[in-house]
Amino acid sequence: MRSILISFITFIWMLAHTASAYDLVLNAPFSKAGSGQLTMRTLAKGLEAKGYNFDIIITSNPKLSKQNYADEKKPLLLGWEAPASSKAAPLYMGPPTDKDLVAMVVTMGHFICTKKDISIKDVFNGKKELTIAHDVAFGNWVQELADHTGAKLKLIPYKGSKKVENALVSGEVDLAMSTRGAGWQKKGLANCLLTSGTDSVLGIQTVNGLYPDWNNNTLVLTFYIKSKNIPQDKLDQLRKDIEEVKRTSEEFAALVERKSWTPVVDKSIDEQLSLLQVIDKTVK
Average pLDDT over residues 242-263: 95
pLDDT of residue 282: 82
- Indicate if the pLDDT at residue 205 is higher than 80: yes
Q: Whole-model pTM?
A: 0.81
- Indicate if the pLDDT at residue 275 is higher than 70: yes
Q: Where are the domains of the chain?
A: 2-108+220-281, 111-210
Task: Find out whether 193 and 205 touch, Cβ atoms under 8 Å.
Answer: yes
pLDDT of 8-38, one tens digit each?
444 444 434 433 578 999 999 999 988 999 9
Name the residue among 28, 89, 60 with its Cα closest to residue 283.
Answer: 89
Fold of 2-108+220-281: D-Maltodextrin-Binding Protein; domain 2 (3.40.190)
- Tell me if 2-108+220-281 shares its fold with 111-210: yes
pLDDT of residue 22: 87
Average pLDDT over residues 69-88: 94
Task: Find out whether 105 and 224 touch, Cβ atoms under 8 Å.
Answer: yes
pLDDT of residue 1: 52
pLDDT of residue 283: 86
pLDDT of 141-197, one tens digit each?
999 999 999 999 999 999 888 899 999 999 999 999 999 999 999 999 999 999 999
Helix, strand, coil % over all residues of the chain, rounded to 5? 45, 25, 35
Buried b (16+ CB within 10 A) or exposed e, 63-79: eebbebbeeeeebbbbb
Average pLDDT over residues 219-239: 96
What's the chain's average pLDDT?
Answer: 91
**What is the C-alpha radius of gyration for the chain, rounded to an integer number of angstroms?**
22
3.40.50.300, 3.40.190.10, 3.40.50.920, 3.40.50.720: which CATH number matches 111-210? 3.40.190.10
| 20: CB partners within 8 A, 6+ apart | 51
CA–CA distance, 101 with 90 (Å, rounded to integer):
20
Q: Which of 54-58, 246-250, 256-260 has the lowest mean pLDDT?
A: 256-260
